[in-house]
Amino acid sequence: MRILVAGGLGALGKAVAAELAARGMQVAIVDMAPAEAGAASVVQGGVDLADEASVTKAYSEVTANLGGLDAVVNVAGGFIWEPVDGGSIDSWDRMYRMNLRTAAVSARAAIPHLLANGGGSIVNVGAAAANAAGMGMAPYAASKAGVKALTESLADELRGRGVRVNAILPTIIDTPANRRDMPDADRSGWVTPSGAARAIALLISADAACITGASIVLSLPG
């Protein structure tokens, strides 16, 4: 299988690329960060994943390099904790652009290649906070609720065209950035990047051929 990981140079993205490569898949990464060597056979860095023209061009080049496209995983995103009262309204735009717009742009760019291949799979990375947002989570959770809605609507749109669309909704992923931001937190229940990567691999695989439109909460290390 030929898989494109959007945002594959972050902590979760690298784990996803490594997991898929270990399963014998061809992996390509497109990311805003500078390109670096890793588990992927093709890496395009310096691509603004919120810019449709840039992403469309990059996906066409990657697909030509891979000889087709079977799935895309939308990992790109960001987090901010900020109360509404006293926070910045610009944070809402930032979270929308990083989390929801990137997923929508990536899906739109990937769909023609998946359809040309006869079908495939899209997996989005949402967040459990989309279902229950605590204090300070509103801008982030709203954007991730948008990812969940995108997943459900796009799955229905593509249901009869051979493309499945699903999402994972992790609680807190055990990344260096989250450890740095929450140094005193109890990490015993945090989802490991490798655990999330295995869940993504399952949703891409033929074992999940009957699943579309699902948003699966991940709440154990895995």
- Which positions are catalytic? 140
- Asked if residue 123 lies in contact with residue 168, where contact means CB atoms within 8 angstroms, the answer is yes
User: Can you name the residues that pair with 187 across neighbouring β-strands?
Assistant: none
User: Can you name the residues that pair with 191 across neighbouring β-strands?
Assistant: 173
DSSP-derived 3-state class of residue 191: strand
Q: Please name the residue that has the structure tokens 């499945």.
A: 164
The backbone torsions φ and ψ at residue 61, rounded to the nearest 5 degrees and listed phi first, read -70, -45
Tell me which amino acid residue 107 is: A
Tokens of 44: 């395009």
Residues with Cβ < 8 Å from 41, sequence gap 6 or more? Answer: 21, 26, 27, 28, 66
Q: How far is the CA of 142 from the CAs of 82, 96, 132, 168, in angstroms?
A: 12, 8, 10, 16
Question: H helices of 23-89, where?
Answer: 52-66
Q: Please name the residue that has the structure tokens 């990992």.
A: 75
